[in-house]
Amino acid sequence: MSQDRPPAATARAAAFDYHLFGTHVCFGDGVSALILKELDALGCSRPAILAQDAMMRSAAFEALSACWSGLDHLRLPAVPRHSSVDVVETMAEKVRAFGADSLIAIGGGSVADSAKALALLLAEGGRLADHVTTFEPPATVRIPRRVRPQLPIIGIPTTASGAEATSSFGVRREDGHKLMFWNRRVAAATLLIDPRLSADQPVALLRDSAMNGIAHAVEALYSRGRSPVSDCIAVQAVRLFDAALDSDSLGGHETRGAILQAAHLAGLALSMARSCLHHAICHVVASRQRLSHGAVNSAILPHALAFNEAVAADALRPALDAVNQRAPRPHAALSAWVRGLQQRHAMPARLSALGVPVDALESLARGVMTERGLALNPRPVADATEVLAILRAAF
């Protein structure tokens, strides 16, 4: 580490507990043990529990299961990457038959999105596709009015996706197309962010999901839906990510906790401002190519960010100033800071290295033009050739 840089110890994440707009958020080691207390506060005693298979086989999950051992509960394992329309609709049948009164989502973004989709589908009925958000170029987003009471969600994140903090979610169809949704009622009633639960997560997964978290903060800063509130939270998220990723090793407990804290703030900012071009690209590429969302975020972010910096430099300047306060040499732009993180932590930097074939780029670019994220992008995207240029730069 450069002697000119403040020590990474500043990345330590203190515990906190707050209520905001009906959501209770608790961060700190061991807070996941509050599940029973939170269920009781919600008047619930019959949860359905969602997780991926690896999490359900882990020692951490085994220890956590003691919290609900005295309750009738339904386990819903095998949550797939990017969620799945078929899986969610099958889960809904099981949850209805069981009579669950709440949902507990333990894991990363795919688990969080599955829980949101399940809550919406159980409340509204029909098929998931009946409730999808649609986009009409150049900037019209149509969100179906869906206001029936939903099962409360307790979110327990184990990665830096930040998805547990937003009202937006995506679910993949079998053909690779990702259906996108937004509904204010799917926001979690409780978030228990316990750094100890990330201890078994591979460093590469946490590293890549951190880039997703950074993308949340960056897009919140330049989204046309931004506000002074989302700006403040997003800049603080970038500042915390910069400190957390200062360490050459991301495996330490303190670093993991700091990354999770930064990701939570970034998710809050994005939930207020909403996503733009970068996430539109990542949703299409990751889903259709069956790739990790975090890895694709890492490859795309510096290029999508550079595309928007031409018109959004003023909006991004507070975040750039924040990272330059700690930088041995000032970064000329926030995209340069992102590239530095890629290099330092060997983050995915090329779509080709992830296995995306060059002959898929044009089709992927056309697919992005149907994504709602284009509606709030600060720089209008005229046609698929502009998206294709970004994909080629990231290839």
Q: Is the dihedral of CA 349, 5, 159, 153 positive or negative?
A: negative
User: What is the β-pairing status of strands 47-50 and 23-27?
Assistant: unpaired
Residue in 218, 271, 260 with CA at minimum distance from that of residue 21: 271
pLDDT at 205: 87
Query: Could you give the CA distance from residue 274 to residue 225 in angstroms, rounded to a whole number?
Result: 6
**How does DSSP assign 192-219, residue by residue?**
EE-GGGGTTS-HHHHHHHHHHHHHHHHH
For residue 358, give every residue at least 6 positions away whose Cβ sits within 8 Å of its Cβ, in sequence order, or none: 352, 395
Q: How far is CA 159 from CA 86, 162, 204, in A?
A: 24, 8, 11
**Domain segments of the chain: what residues?**
24-197, 202-394
pLDDT at 4: 47
Query: Could you give the CA distance from residue 11 to residue 389 in angstroms, rounded to a whole number?
Result: 36
User: pLDDT below 50 — which residues of the chain?
Assistant: 1-10
**Are the C-beta atoms of 153 and 163 separated by less than 8 Å?**
no
**Are the C-beta atoms of 17 and 29 separated by less than 8 Å?**
no
**Are the C-beta atoms of 293 and 161 separated by less than 8 Å?**
yes
What is 202-394's CATH number?
A: 1.20.1090.10
Angle between helices 277-288 and 203-222 (to 10 degrees): 140
Q: What is the pTM of this model?
A: 0.92
| Angle at 136 (CA atoms; ends 134, 140), nearest 5 degrees | 90
Lookup: tokens for 208? 């890549």
Query: Could you give the CA distance from residue 365 to residue 379 in angstroms, rounded to a whole number?
Result: 16
For residue 66, give every residue at least 6 positions away whose Cβ sits within 8 Å of its Cβ, in sequence order, or none: none
Q: What is the pLDDT of residues 40-67, one digit of tens each?
A: 999 999 999 999 999 999 989 999 999 9
**Are the C-beta atoms of 342 and 353 separated by less than 8 Å?**
no
Residue in 308, 304, 324, 288 with CA at minimum distance from that of residue 211: 304
Tokens 């100033």 label which residue?
321
- Burial environment of residue 147 by CB neighbours within 10 A (0 to 12, 13 to 18, 19 or more): exposed
**How does DSSP assign 122-157, residue by residue?**
HHH-S-GGGG--EEETTTEEE-----S----EEEEE
Q: What is the pLDDT of residues 70-84, one digit of tens each?
A: 899 999 999 999 999
Query: Could you give the CA distance from residue 219 to residue 324 in angstroms, rounded to a whole number?
Result: 19
Query: Cα-flanking dihedrals φ and ψ of residue 26, to 5°?
Result: -130, 125
* Domain at 24-197, CATH class: alpha beta
**Are the C-beta atoms of 6 and 239 separated by less than 8 Å?**
no
